[in-house]
């Protein structure tokens, strides 16, 4: 504690960063930010844009970068993305920022941030272009947790040849996240062709009875092949699960 207080007194540590080190979280007008989540659970804390004002998202984004050296902001609209960019340009101009506009994602690293690096490959697979948003969210999270991520897109079972052409590639991955809407067939078929864990990611595409992802979720839950399933459009959860599995795999490889 003394070292933290001395760092604050010397101007080497902000009060927010000091609070995060002492309590594990820091509080401002926008809410409480869980700065200890990565250390506690291995999962990066993210700022969820849904139901927050642009000012609230920007404030929490700044807190995230200040206290952890990293920012993950998800489910952002254009106004929120603009607010975060403006805030970081003013408060952290040296930060490296990447935006995935279509997926509503913004990632930033402080200059001294050292990202994790795992000896594990995660394949993120989509059935079609409509699955891009949650699949991108999953890919970004797995990558931020240290995994090498490969994208294999648009191989849905409407043309089974597209999937069969990629089987040899799929079998080189350590684990797979497979995103599909409509009836959700791609993860169940893929799981029968590979000998690695498959995480099914149902997507809210489709229409009529069972639309909005319900049929995709039900189909994956009732899969005859063995796979895990997350909630509809839960790209964050799929990416985190893949990242945690990748970390365990990487750890076991380093111990050999």
Walk me through the domains of the chain, giving residue ranges and CATH numbers: 2-109 (no CATH), 121-254 (3.40.50.1970)
Task: Give pTM, 2 decimals.
Answer: 0.89
Pure H helices in the chain: 2-9, 15-23, 37-41, 54-68, 78-91, 132-144, 160-164, 167-170, 185-191, 214-221, 235-254
**Structure tokens that stand for 251 in this block:** 């750890």
pLDDT per residue over 66-82, tens digit each?
Answer: 889 999 999 999 999 99
Average model confidence (pLDDT) across the chain: 89
Sign of the C-alpha dihedral, residues 9, 14, 16, 17? negative
- Binned at pLDDT 50, 70 and 90, residue 139 comes out as very high
Cα-based distances in Å from 97 to 86, 89, 94, 100, 105: 12, 10, 9, 10, 11
pLDDT per residue over 153-164, tens digit each?
Answer: 999 999 999 999
Q: Is the pLDDT of residue 64 over 50?
A: yes
Q: Which of 134, 127, 96 is nearest to 114 (CA)?
A: 96
Query: Measured between alpha carbons, how far is 172 from 18 in angstroms, rounded to an integer?
Result: 44
Q: Is the pLDDT of residue 18 over 80?
A: no
Q: What is the pLDDT of residue 35?
A: 75
Query: Measured between alpha carbons, how far is 219 from 228 in angstroms, rounded to an integer?
Result: 12
Q: Which of 105, 92, 93, 113 is nearest to 57 (CA)?
A: 105
DSSP 36: T
Rounded percentage of the chain residues whose pLDDT exceeds 70: 88
């Amino acid at each position: 504690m003394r070292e933290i207080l001395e760092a604050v007194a010397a101007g080497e540590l902000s009060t927010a960063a000091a609070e995060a080190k002492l309590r594990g979280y820091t509080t401002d007008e926008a809410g409480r930010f869980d700065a200890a989540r990565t250390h506690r659970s291995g999962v990066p804390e993210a700022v969820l844009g849904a139901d927050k004002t642009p000012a609230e998202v920007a404030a929490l984004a700044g807190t995230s970068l200040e206290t952890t050296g990293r920012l993950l902001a998800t489910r952002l609209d254009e106004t929120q993305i603009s607010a975060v960019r403006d805030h970081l340009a003013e408060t952290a101009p040296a930060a490296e920022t990447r935006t995935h506009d279509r997926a509503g994602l913004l990632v930033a690293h402080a200059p001294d941030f050292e990202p994790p690096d795992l000896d594990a490959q995660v394949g993120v697979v989509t059935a079609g272009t409509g699955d891009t948003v949650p699949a991108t969210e999953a890919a970004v999270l797995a990558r931020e947790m240290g995994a090498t991520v490969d994208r294999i897109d648009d191989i849905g079972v409407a043309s089974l040849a597209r999937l069969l052409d990629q089987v040899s590639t799929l079998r080189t991955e350590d684990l797979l996240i497979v995103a599909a809407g409509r009836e959700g067939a791609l993860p169940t078929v893929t799981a029968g062709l590979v000998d690695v864990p498959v995480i099914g990611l149902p997507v809210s595409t489709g229409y009529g009875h069972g639309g909005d992802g319900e049929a995709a979720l039900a189909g994956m839950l009732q899969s005859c092949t063995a796979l895990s399933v997350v909630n509809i459009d839960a790209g964050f959860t799929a990416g985190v699960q893949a990242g945690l599995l990748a970390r365990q795999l990487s750890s076991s490889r380093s111990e050999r």
